[in-house]
Structure 1
């Protein structure tokens, strides 16, 4: 392969990596990406996303969570108040978002 071909291949890989990072940079972008890829592009682009509060937040301090047996925060819960249908056997009214390093990953219908 010539230098020009290597440069083109590296540019294409770099662009795909940049797109992936941009689509997983925030929780709402990760949810919208997951909804779009699950076959609901209209809901992904126009739907409203609300963050659900943690029922233990403010009640149990973070340093006492293990003492009281409160589960650790592995993910944040989000819901879609305007979407009331199910598609592709996934309940589309909720999502869980997990953070790994600086990227967010969404899972639809987790609760």
Structure 2
């Protein structure tokens, strides 16, 4: 009886871990989803779901060599969230590619 319970618990644990891994892979499978995931977890779900994402032409041109080394590209939110502490727009993000996954980070205005 105990072995059956342990097997069932282990099976549920494995299914849960596989589910978490699949969700992680889906949320980081494209630059857009990685960026939306980042903004969502920064605490701006409305902006993450409603803002359009466009290429940041200026930063991609100015920092072309740096971005090539980082395997990255800059993107801009058209309706960026406003940071409450500074009232600044969180508009520009850098999305890096690692193998087949993408990870976003806030890039700032500079």
Q: The TM-score by the shorter chain falls in which range?
A: 0.7 to 0.9
CA drift of 1:87 comes to 4.3
Aligned residues: 99
Segments of 5+ residues of structure 2 without an aligned counterpart are: none
Segments of 5+ residues of structure 1 without an aligned counterpart are: 57-64
Q: Does residue 6 in structure 1 map to residue 10 in structure 2?
A: yes
CA 1:103–1:6 in 2, change beyond 3 Å: closer, same or farther?
same
Greater CA deviation, 88-97 or 5-14? Answer: 88-97
Aligned CA RMSD, in angstroms, stands at 2.3
- The answer to whether the 8 A contact 1:91-1:109 is kept is no
- The answer to whether the 8 A contact 1:91-1:108 is kept is no
TM-score after normalising by structure 2? 0.77
Partner of 1:59: none
Partner of 2:78: 81
Matches within 5 A, 1:28-107: 28-53=32-57, 54-55=60-61, 70-71=65-66, 73=68, 74=70, 75-83=72-80, 85-87=82-84, 91-107=89-105
Structure with more of its chain in helix, by fraction: 2
